[in-house]
Structure 1
Amino acid sequence: MLADRIEAKWIDAFCEIFERCAVKPGDTAAILSETQSRALNVQLAELALLRMGARPFHIVLPTPRNKQVVPIRSTGASEAIQRLGPVVTALQQAGFVVDCTIEGLMHAPETPDILKAGARILVISNEHPEALERMVPDLNLEKRVKAAAKMLRGTKRMRVTSAAGSDLDVNMEGAATVGVWGWTDRPGTLAHWPGGIVVSFPKSGTINGTLVMAPGDINLTFKRYLTSPIHLTLKDDYIVDLKGEGADAAMMRSYLAAWGDREAYAVSHVGWGMNPGARYEALTMYDQRDTNGTELRAVPGNFLFSTGANEFAGRYTAGHFDLPMMGTTIALDGVVVIKDGVVQDVFG
């Protein structure tokens, strides 16, 4: 267990990320949190903003009751605001929003209205600051992520293969692509820290083939490395077969079935990690309460495959898996960008 105390080095790290977000003396900044938020990060955000001469204020909401039949982890869709009008209005007017909610505002229903008003949102992932400080802003990473996102937006076909047996075909035409390098300085935009991820949300009926999760691949909803293979068969976006022996496959089958919702079996997004500061073995270094797993999503060269909601395909569900897979090869229109889990020199 890491000590939850204020450290000057962590205030420094928060100041660095806020400077990249163009926070200036006198700026108004809303710190959004809930009663179950990591208090240490909320305090560090406040102290960093004050050190920079900004004018922060807090919005603290009660963490709502989980109405689902299973625990919810790492959805990126915070339910804390509950469409409360005065809260949305305050965030719209804040200019800069530091999001310290547990799940984050990335896919929250209120986020589009907040962004349309011109506010910019920095989602601070629910990590211990010991992890955050290792992944502070990297200007070279910004350039590479932007180049990867541009390439994805111009791609018609993605193919994912692996020595374990994966062979997945993704029709990328019309897919929505997002690149996140860890900060945002433009009104009406959202980013999350840590960054270094590029993902696409394909349109409906575009994903077919086989994915084989090998031992050592990761189920971030469960925060565990796999110890046995899992074979996923996908047809028109949906997992239609999930085979595997042992606890890993059994828990995935049970969790998916518990939702009683076909959309939980659908693909949310596909992409890969690009952050050189993100470590594959990091999940072993933290107690489960001390990590949200964003670092594992950003590990360079992992194929980040996710199930659950995809608003661009008209699918909505609270069920969600983020499944970083190592050792894959990813080709975009025949150009290999990830080879056996290694990012190729194609992004500058």
Structure 2
Amino acid sequence: MQTATGDRRVIDTMARQLDLCRTAPGQAAAVLVDQATDPAMADAAVAALEQLGLSPTTVVVDDQPPGGGGAAGTPPEVIVSLLAERLEDFESMIAPQAKVLSVVAPGPGELQGVVPHPGLSRRVRRGLELLDAGGELQVSSTQGTNLSIALQGARRWHHDGLAARPGTVAQWPRGVIGTAPAMGSANGTVVMAPGDIWLPLAWYARSTVTLTFEGGRMVGIEGPRSETDAVRAHLASLDNPSAYRFDAVEIGMLWIDQRRSPALFEPGLAESFGVADRYGHVVIATGDDATRGIACCLRNATVAVDEVAAVRSGRPQGELAPDVYEQAAHRYPLDGDGLARPSVREVS
């Protein structure tokens, strides 16, 4: 059971994020929950909205989408959804002008270390602009990764957890920029080194494995059988050629303010919530919307757009890096290797 202090921290964190979404006292608000929602999350969402001067209504939805346009009365201008990815099933109850904060963290524990700050949105926006202006993206690493994809005609997306304008839906806590390249344009190698993370398998690579891409498809998996057999078995179990198609590159931008172990195989990190969004992680994925293939979470990769470094050895560069104001908001500053560690100003 959480302590009162723990509850207050979660409420304050939600309230700060909702404040960034430009909620205003007196706005009509609703919290969407279902039978799977953690009651502590529902209580925190209601308390956070009340802290900002709103009087939210809790709406319990069942397994079937409502047939009408929502509850009677004023349509909510601010909605906190605790339905995760099922939000699209309930679009009929959401007014077109509503701001929707879709909380994808399943419980209060996953919000520990989240520090809402406008700097994240700024960095995500700058990263998206860099992708928009580029012609080629290169991913490399000291372990041997050497991959290039074309950005002309590529699809791009971002998540920054910010629903600041009416009619927007934002997943929170999220922080990522991503691109799906033009069909057939991915070529090169991706090298998984010990300590990198296989997604969605949620386990660490223990040996070096090389994936080779030609013309946008995976054509080779090389490495010790103890590692490659599991990857091959996973892909084969999907029984779909799309599982081998190059899908996307994503760059994590979310700074989680927690102590980080310097250990290569940090306990709990590989299977932790939102590991793909972590600051400086680079995810290279195969598959499509219907068939998720394999995803390689590289923790020390370098990413360049037209030879301009966006990430260097797992650390975002230039305008993708936090400024002094965002750094000051965190208790654990990022060390030179991108890990968050205690600062001299830490208090117990």
Q: After TM superposition, give the deviation of residue 333 of structure 1 in Å.
A: 0.7
- Structure 1 gaps, min length 5: 63-80, 310-315
Equivalent runs, 1:138-149 vs 2, <5 Å:
138-149=117-128
Deviations 1:6-58 (A, max 9, x none): 71221111111111122223333343344334443233222322333232332
- Matches of 1:60 and 1:163 in 2, distance apart? 50
Question: What's 2:316 paired with?
Answer: 343
The answer for the alignment partner of 1:272 in structure 2 is 251
| Cα separation, 1, equivalents of 2:168 and 2:185 | 27
* Residues 211, 233 of structure 1: 8 Å contact kept: yes
Gapped regions of structure 2 (runs ≥ 5): 324-348
In the TM superposition, residue 171 of structure 1 has moved relative to its aligned partner by 0.5
Instruction: Determine which of 154, 157, 162 is the counterpart of 1:183.
Output: 162
Q: Does 1:86 align with 2:67?
A: yes
1:167 counterpart (146, 167, 187): 146
TM-score, with structure 1 as normaliser: 0.77
Quick check: 1:33–1:60 contact (8 Å CA) kept in 2?
yes
Partner residue of 2:267 out of 284, 298, 315 = 284
Alignment of 1:261-340 (within 5 A): 261-277=240-256, 284-285=267-268, 291=272, 293-294=273-274, 296-309=275-288, 316-319=289-292, 321-340=294-313
d(CA) in 2 for partners of 1:156, 1:196: 23
**What is the match of residue 14 of structure 1?**
14
**Counterparts of 1:320 and 1:115, CA distance in 2:** 33
Q: What is the CA RMSD across the aligned residues, in angstroms?
A: 3.2
- Work out which of the residue numbers 212, 220, 231 in structure 1 matches 2:191: 212
How far, CA to CA, are the matches of 1:97 and 1:322 in structure 2? Answer: 32
Q: Are the equivalent residues in 1 in contact too, given 2:34–2:61 (CA < 8 A)?
A: yes
Q: Does the C-alpha gap of structure 1 residues 202 and 286 become closer, same or farther in structure 2, counting only changes over 3 Å?
A: closer
For residues 34 and 50 of structure 1, do their structure 2 counterparts lie closer, same or farther at Cα, with a shift above 3 Å needed?
A: same
Paired residues of 1:4 and 1:40 also in contact (CA < 8 A): no
Distance in 2 (CA, whole Å) between partners of 1:114 and 1:152 is: 35
Q: Does structure 2 conserve the Cα–Cα contact (< 8 Å) formed by 1:153 and 1:176?
A: no
The verdict on how the C-alpha distance between 1:142 and 1:160 changes in structure 2, with shifts beyond 3 A counting, is same
Greater displacement, 296-305 / 96-105: 96-105
Q: 2:70 touches 2:94 (CA, 8 Å); kept in 1?
A: no
Structure 1 CA distance for aligned equivalents of residues 43 and 116 of structure 2 = 20
Measure how far apart 1:214 and its partner are: 1.0
Larger radius of gyration: 2
How many pairs align?
312
Partner SS state of residue 14, structure 1: helix
Moved segments of 4+, more than 4 Å:
2-6, 102-105, 108-111, 113-116, 278-283, 285-288
Tell me how far 1:116 sits from its aligned partner: 9.5
Q: Are 2:204 and 2:270, in contact at CA under 8 Å, matched by a contact in 1?
A: no
CA spacing shift, 1:205–1:18, aligned 2, 3 Å:
same
The sequence identity of aligned pairs, in percent, is 24
Q: CA deviation at 1:305?
A: 1.8
Q: What's the counterpart of residue 44 of structure 2?
A: 44
- How much does 1:346 deviate? 4.3
Quote how far apart the aligned CAs of 1:219 are.
2.3
* Matched-pair contact (CA < 8 Å) for 1:30–1:59: no
**82, 97, 121: which one aligns with 2:100:** 121
**SS class of match (1:9):** helix
Partner of 1:65: none
User: Deviation per CA, 1:166-219, whole angstroms, max 9, x where unpaired?
Assistant: 111110112232233332211232322223321122232222221111111112
Closer/same/farther in 2, CA of residues 131 and 328 from structure 1, 3 Å limit: same
SS at match of 1:188: coil
The answer as to whether partners of 2:218 and 2:244 remain within 8 angstroms in 1 is: yes
